[in-house]
Amino acid sequence: MSNPSYLDAVSVTKNYSDDKESGVNNIILSIKQGKITAIVGESGSGKSTLLKLLYGLLSPEEGEVFFKGDRVIGPEEKLIPGHDRMKMVTQHTDDLNLFATVWQNVASLLPNTDLKYKETATAAALKQLKVYELKDQRVTDLSGGEKQRVAIAKALITKPEVLFLDEPFNQVDASFREGLQQNIRNIVKETGLTVVLVSHDPAEVLSMADDLIVLKQGEIVEAGTPEELYQNPGMLYTAQILAHCSVLTNQEAKVCGITAQRGTVAINPENVEIANTWGKKKDWTVVQVLFKGFFEDVIVEKEDVKLRVLNLELNKYPVGTPVSIRIKKHFEYGQWK
Ligand code: ADP
Ligand code: MG
């Protein structure tokens, strides 16, 4: 390679059958060291396949993966599949021993040649993931979120350089999830760990990732920082993954006062202003209010066109209220979605 960087996929293809739509095709990417890279895409777009290729759990049919310039070898060439300097945690937590304690699960990966180190490193890993207090409990007695914390502590105890997280927080309650995300960001900052994360949750991806890679039908269709892709998604597909946008035809967009040059219009909820003050034409009607905690998603309708609006003034616009709206920003897309 002309310019080896950290973790690179060079024209990597892996199809599970003759079907080009299974697996991934011609993936070219560079994962940056010490950063969190998130891979997003609809279900079946090839996210897990790509992680397995980067980690060495699958061999590419074409192309190669390089870690610091050395080829990552696949399971056929290696006794224990997976690169030695990398670890992966999935949502299944299947490599935990449910009937052993938290401490035993994590400590068991370290050799007995240096018992003092084993003791301090295990304690440090459990503290880092905030499960030290649970150290004497059996894993089977823990909540889903606690099990995930133990699985990550176990993955990190041998100090891998790269941690792959394949939708690891799916089973974790929203309230615990944020703490865990924060802990992982801190670990990355403090230790220089490189994280490659697959996630379905737009909020998680946007708040955690330094870089985003968007996969569609096994191909990378867009990449950039979360800010770049959120503020200016090149594809409707990306806009829909990163925000609960309303998607309208350009005819429907006219109802909102938008004259679009292209066929499809996407409007993010935070880009719609809502009001019911006197003087403005209140030609939209609130048809649904979705309580979201400190905000609401208010669905408004006019001439069969529905729009999702972010509203911070709770209970101000009950169902049936006539309102006026103003759209501050929208995106336009062509036929290709
Ligand atoms: P994602 O993680 O984005 O949901 P996957 O990487 O699991 O996607 O799968 C991508 C595509 O490859 C899907 O169409 C899936 O059905 C197919 N696929 C994944 N694993 C296998 C397999 N072991 N055998 C056959 N097809 C597979
Ligand atoms: Mg998957």
Ligand that comes closest to the CA of residue 46: 1
* Contact between 49 and 24 (Cβ < 8 Å): yes
User: Tokens representing 312?
Assistant: 């911070």
Domain extents for the chain? 7-240, 244-336
Evaluate: CB of 23 within 6 angstroms of ligand 1.
Answer: yes
Distance 91 CA to ligand 2 centre (A): 10
Residue 1 confidence (pLDDT): 45
Atom of ligand 1 nearest to the CA of 166: 2
Distance 286 CA to ligand 2 centre (A): 37
* Contact between 312 and 295 (Cβ < 8 Å): yes
Evaluate: CB of 49 within 6 angstroms of ligand 1.
Answer: yes
Strands in the chain per DSSP E: 7-14, 24-31, 36-40, 62-67, 70-71, 86-90, 162-166, 194-198, 211-216, 219-224, 246-249, 264-267, 272-275, 284-291, 296-302, 305-311, 322-327, 331-333
DSSP 206: H
The CATH code belonging to domain 244-336 is: 2.40.50.140
Q: Whose CA is nearest to atom 21 of ligand 1?
A: 16
CA triple 314-319-324, angle to 5 deg: 80
Q: Whose CA is nearest to atom 6 of ligand 1?
A: 46
* Contact between 88 and 166 (Cβ < 8 Å): yes
Atom of ligand 1 nearest to the CA of 41: 3
Give pLDDT tens digits along the chain (337 positions).
444 589 999 999 999 987 777 899 999 999 999 999 999 999 999 999 999 999 999 999 999 999 999 999 999 999 899 999 999 999 876 789 999 999 999 999 999 999 999 999 999 999 999 999 999 999 999 998 899 999 999 999 999 999 999 998 877 777 788 888 999 999 999 999 999 999 888 888 998 999 999 999 999 999 999 999 999 999 999 999 999 999 999 999 999 999 999 999 999 999 999 999 877 889 999 999 999 989 999 999 999 999 999 999 999 999 999 999 999 999 999 864 4
Tell me the C-alpha to C-alpha distance, in Å, between residue 133 and each of 88, 129, 281: 24, 11, 59
* Contact between 22 and 16 (Cβ < 8 Å): yes
CATH of 7-240, one of 3.40.50.1820, 3.40.50.300, 3.30.365.10, 1.10.10.10: 3.40.50.300
Distance CA 311, CA 272 (A): 9
Q: Name the strand (E) or helix (H) holding 236.
A: helix 236-242
Distance CA 116, CA 172 (A): 33
* Contact between 110 and 159 (Cβ < 8 Å): no
**What burial class does residue 304 get, using C-beta atoms within 10 Å of its C-beta: 0-12 exposed, 13-18 middle, 19+ buried?**
exposed
Residue 277 confidence (pLDDT): 85
Evaluate: CB of 22 within 6 angstroms of ligand 1.
Answer: yes
Evaluate: CB of 91 within 6 angstroms of ligand 1.
Answer: no
Distance 238 CA to ligand 2 centre (A): 17
